[in-house]
Amino acid sequence: MKILIVDDFSTMRRIIKKLLRDLGFTNTFDADDGTTALPMLKKGDFDFLVTDWNMPGMNGIDLLKAVRADPRLQKLPVLMVTAEQKREQIIEAAQAGVNGYVVKPFTAVSLQEKIDKIFERIDNS
């Protein structure tokens, strides 16, 4: 499974990368915002996208919308990991087609739960 991690803080990218490795996902790549991530997604055969919301350049919600608008990427599972937790924002993310939403600060366990849930749903559908 090839995973792209997008966050403007390098420490957070490393944390998520390490947690994913502990969960058995070793094929991970990272980008610091949507502008860098989108070409990577279009070029590479990624299976999963983990993205922050608030980033300079292209933010996470715009990246999600761009992914859903691309015929080749529209089915890509997307997990948002963000400090944003306003009701309207979560609704916006849901409407844009997010598959999971984790609020920072989070625990290793909650991240695993969300990832498991996303793949469970995909396997069942």
Residues that bind other proteins (CB under 8 A): 7, 9, 11-12, 14-15, 18-19, 22, 53-54, 83-91, 94, 98-108, 110
CB of 42 to other proteins, least distance (A): 25
CB of 2 to other proteins, least distance (A): 22
Residue type, 79: L
- Using DSSP's 3-state secondary structure scheme, residue 110 falls into helix
User: Which residue, 43 or 87, is less far from other proteins as judged by CB?
Assistant: 87
CB of 43 to other proteins, least distance (A): 27
User: Which residue, 42 or 75, is less far from other proteins as judged by CB?
Assistant: 75
User: Which residue, 10 or 39, is less far from other proteins as judged by CB?
Assistant: 10
CB of 111 to other proteins, least distance (A): 10
Q: Please give the C-alpha separations between residue 18 and each of 13, 44, 75, 85, in angstroms, as whole numbers.
A: 9, 21, 25, 24
User: Which residue, 18 or 42, is less far from other proteins as judged by CB?
Assistant: 18
To which H or E segment does residue 91 belong? helix 87-96
DSSP 99: S
Query: What phi and psi values does residue 75 have, to the nearest 5 degrees?
Result: -95, 0
Cα–Cα dist 109/121, whole Å: 18
Retrieve residue 112's tokens: 């695993």
